[in-house]
Structure 1
Amino acid sequence: MIKLFDKPSKELSVNPDDQKATEINLIQGKRPYMRAFHFSWLSFNIAFTGWFAIAPLLPYIKEYLKLTPEQAEDGNIVNVASAVFFRFLVGPLCDRFGPKRVMALLLILGSIPVGLSALVRTPVGLIVVRFFIGILGATFVPCQFWTTQMFGKNIVGSANAIVGGWGNMGAGITTIFLALIAAGFNSAGLSSSLSWRVSLVIPAVLCFTVGLCDYFFTDDCPQGDWLKRDLSPKQTAEIHIANNEKKPNTDDANKVVTDTDSEKNVPAPTVPKRDLKTFLLALKDPNVILLMIMYSCCFGVELAVDGALTLFFYEHKKFNLSKKDAGLIASLFGLMNLFSRATGGFLSDFANEKMGIRGRLLVQFIIFFLEGLFLFIFPYTLNSLAEAIVILILFSYFTQAGCGTSFGIVPFVNPELMGVISGLVGGGGSIGGAVFAAVFKKFPASSTPFTILGIVVMVVSFTSFLLKIEGRRLLEFRKK
């Protein structure tokens, strides 16, 4: 259950078996559940301000560095492709050290190349710094891992989709605000060169600050610290009280403290080792490979389009848009994440309630097929800016909803390898982003990439019928 306007002080319902929350209260920020929920999406959102900071500033940067269209696209490809390596690496790190530490580390490290990008003076320097900025793209893995640790099976699809969607919305926010900020600095008297350089300092500071907050003010899991996640429910209750700075005032609460005090010498659980064998074990599962391919066709499409859309609208001759207006229209694509990815998760959870895991698979197929269809239609609307914007919004919705339905399935593949699988599937998205960005490079300032992407996504949508989750497929043929 998702509560929008419930009392912030009201405790969430919790499953006594695994201590995970079975509901979401969006206006609550208490530890551990909703604090982790809000910091997971906020961290991913802020990561996007650094990861995609350069894309909306490309009209300024391209002019100053005299970038060719190929060099501009090379930067986009490198920025997305480098996230593949970092995402694969981060999955096992989440399994071993917990999501909050990994999230904090990624944001703090990622803030460094974002800040240094303001000093770039050559096309090669821009490409190099964009490679290291790609570390921020790995924040998606702890974002999804975090909420999977906090919320139960009945609501995990919605939780993952909301935090992923609100995080992805950072791409749209970055596109619109950095374009406006650079234009504002330029109007205030700064040169075009200095305007984009000063603008890049803002996301660097934001990433560093939120990374520190992740480490000091959040919890990894219901039990608090990652190394204490196997504690008993009574021990967990005491941690909840301590984290929220409340003293127990009932006999039961006092009993919790007393019982826990007697268990202080319980040794911490051992942390399972994650190595190459774990990766290979996960990759042996056909479901993991299929979900990597599918995620490449939703999040990968999103990454490629986010990187190309501003220049596409700016350089389209029939539209004749200014740099600022091109950025504003392109921002619609990312801003749809306010609700699009979340509704994918809602639909996945709802279908699961009605049909079980087969419901999740059915929603996956429908969303992906419609995404491909509207991508394919988009080039036929480019004679009218209004029509192009409408279809842009439609394929944006289904692209991002597909991300939500995909991670509505991921937690059920193999819960014991959740971090590794999240990293692999997330890495699949980055691989798709790099491949599709190369398509945009091959056809600069052309609508052809949208046609190609549309066909690919419609074909891939049928792989939903090959997924076998918890022993069930979308279509099952029983022997007589």
Structure 2
Amino acid sequence: MFGFDRNQQGVLHLTWIAFFLTFLAWFNMAPFNTTLEHHAGLSADQIRILMVCNVALTIPARIVIGALVDQHGPKIVFVCLLVFSGAVSLYFAQCTRFNEFVAARLLMGVAGAGFVVGIKMIAEWFPPEKMGTAQGIYAGWGNFGAAAAAFTLPPIAAAFDPATGWRVATAFSGVLCLVWAWVYHRQAKEIPERATQFPVTLEKTIEVTSYRDLVLQVLLFLPLYGALGVFVWKLSHPSTPLLSGWEMGGLLAAVGVFCLFEIYRCLQVNLPRLKNGLHEDRHYPFQQIVVLSFVYALTFGSELAVISMFPEYLETTFALSATAAAILGSSFAFFNLVTRPSGGWLADRIGRRRVLFVLVLGCMICYWFMGEITPAWPLTAAIALCVVCSMLAQAGNGACFAMVPLIRKDLTGKMAGMAGAYGNVGAVYFLTLLSFVDASEFFRWISAYALFVLVSLMFLKSFNHLHNSFRK
């Protein structure tokens, strides 16, 4: 398969299934948004809150887990994450009060960090010339878990009473995670030379090689913590106030303190290195990860946001049943298993920057036209447009992460964590925006952001020169 040897194939299949199951658990609520309104006593505003909760903690989780993966290796981290995802799914299935739902979806956001773990595992086992294809297959099949949640969990729930069916279906996704945690622990392998090839460090900040790059890294923290601040503010929104004014102020202050501490640690770690000078082999352009983070905020962030709202959007716009809307809603993630690997493959074969530019341009155009959808549209035309848009975004995910592991291989976990976190930054901002505008404006704003990303691609450097031991 694609010239992969037996060990590479084994690692790839074990890892994409692990990622698939964490995504299945992560999005096990999306098909049941209207069900929770009708049978769990939640309001539409509360459902919007839960959508944001579902992606909020993935932001810090991807950064922290990216560092843990560099430190401890992907195998043990993935096993722990699968166990965690299974346990939270079982907890979610037992929830009865809104506060419990909030806690469950916040915790479930950590499951979204599974993506970073597999990126590191694949980066260790595959050479650069196969990186885009392998990463694309891994992430494509893994992200397919979101579509699988939409079209497999509702039929499972339909076999039971509506008030309990969603609980059975979401608990089932958790049991699958627990089973695969055991399989992954028994079967997955670390590369034998890992201890010497990838230096272990406790630092969670990314090493930079110039003062300009240091400034860029500090600036890159601001949207991350800004998204957390937006989330805290959202929890105190008048329609569903979970936090008082004092509590909101305290949490916002805490977010600010953490942001300042992260900036302090970044300066503390990097300034002495820059002062003493770094070997030329360690130099790399940090702006690569900055631009790719912006790209991923568009391609994956918009995908997360649309997946979260799409079944409900179809149900209300075209007067569909909840089950039909969930099944058709899965179309926005269904082709991940093909399109994301295709994006990585095209990036390897045709040219990484060229492919990314075309895909981002396509996303911009499609999201703009999605903003023009009305109930008068034929349903088939609306679905076809959304499928094309999703395929472009998912291929963009694959092309983006065909590049991240090539920037500097010993920092792959941290860089994947940073770019991956920006995917959730995009989702938080987009879903928060959805609370204030209708779906048409929501899609147009995503299109406007795509234009910004298109301009930022002008600053993405070629990857052809990445040839030294840190980048191979």
- Which TM-score applies when normalising by structure 2? 0.79
Structure 2 residue aligned with 1:143, among 118, 130, 134? 118
User: Is 1:275 paired with 2:173?
Assistant: no
Percent identity reads 25
Give the Å deviation of 1:279: 6.1
For structure 2, the 5+ residue unaligned runs are 219-285, 467-472
Matched residue, 1:342? 341
Structure 2 residue aligned with 1:154, among 112, 129, 135? 129
AA partner of residue 202 (structure 2): R
Relative to structure 1, the CA distance from residue 377 to residue 365 in structure 2 (aligned partners, 3 Å threshold; closer, same or farther) is: same
Matched residue, 1:298? 299
Give the Å deviation of 1:470: 4.5
**Contact persistence 1:314–1:326 (CA under 8 A):** yes
Give the Å deviation of 1:120: 0.9
Relative to structure 1, the CA distance from residue 279 to residue 83 in structure 2 (aligned partners, 3 Å threshold; closer, same or farther) is: farther
Name the SS of the counterpart of 1:114 in structure 2.
helix
* CA deviation map 1:400-421 (0-9, x unaligned): 0000010111122122211111
Name the SS of the counterpart of 2:128 in structure 1.
coil
For structure 1, the 5+ residue unaligned runs are 4-22, 231-269, 352-358, 474-480
**Aligned-pair RMSD on alpha carbons?**
1.9
**Contact persistence 2:199–2:410 (CA under 8 A):** no
* CA deviation map 1:65-114 (0-9, x unaligned): 33222211111111111111110001111111111111111110121111
User: Is 1:433 paired with 2:408?
Assistant: no
C-alpha separation in 2, matches of 1:338 and 1:448: 29
**Contact persistence 1:57–1:182 (CA under 8 A):** no
**Contact persistence 1:287–1:469 (CA under 8 A):** no
**Contact persistence 1:371–1:458 (CA under 8 A):** no
Matched residue, 1:217? 187
User: Is 1:372 paired with 2:364?
Assistant: yes
AA partner of residue 408 (structure 1): A
Give the Å deviation of 1:336: 1.0
Give the Å deviation of 1:124: 2.1
Which structure is larger by alpha-carbon Rg, 1 or 2? 1
Give the Å deviation of 1:374: 0.6
C-alpha separation in 2, matches of 1:314 and 1:470: 44
Matched residue, 2:274? none
Give the Å deviation of 1:278: 3.4
User: Is 1:460 paired with 2:462?
Assistant: no
AA partner of residue 297 (structure 2): S
* CA deviation map 1:35-64 (0-9, x unaligned): 110111111111111100011112211112
C-alpha separation in 2, matches of 1:276 and 1:459: 29
Matched residue, 1:24? 4
Q: Which has the higher helix share?
A: 2
Instruction: Summarize the alignment of residues 37-436 of structure 1 with structure 2, pairs less than 5 Å apart.
Output: 37-185=12-160, 190=161, 192-221=162-191, 223=192, 226-227=194-195, 230=197, 271-278=199-206, 283=217, 285-316=286-317, 319-351=318-350, 359-382=351-374, 383-436=377-430
C-alpha separation in 2, matches of 1:277 and 1:125: 33
- Which TM-score applies when normalising by structure 1? 0.78
Matched residue, 1:247? none
C-alpha separation in 1, matches of 2:428 and 2:303: 11
* CA deviation map 1:340-375 (0-9, x unaligned): 111101100102xxxxxxx21111111111011111
C-alpha separation in 1, matches of 2:390 and 2:87: 31
* CA deviation map 1:288-345 (0-9, x unaligned): 22211111000111111111111111111xx110011100110111111020111101
Give the Å deviation of 1:209: 1.0
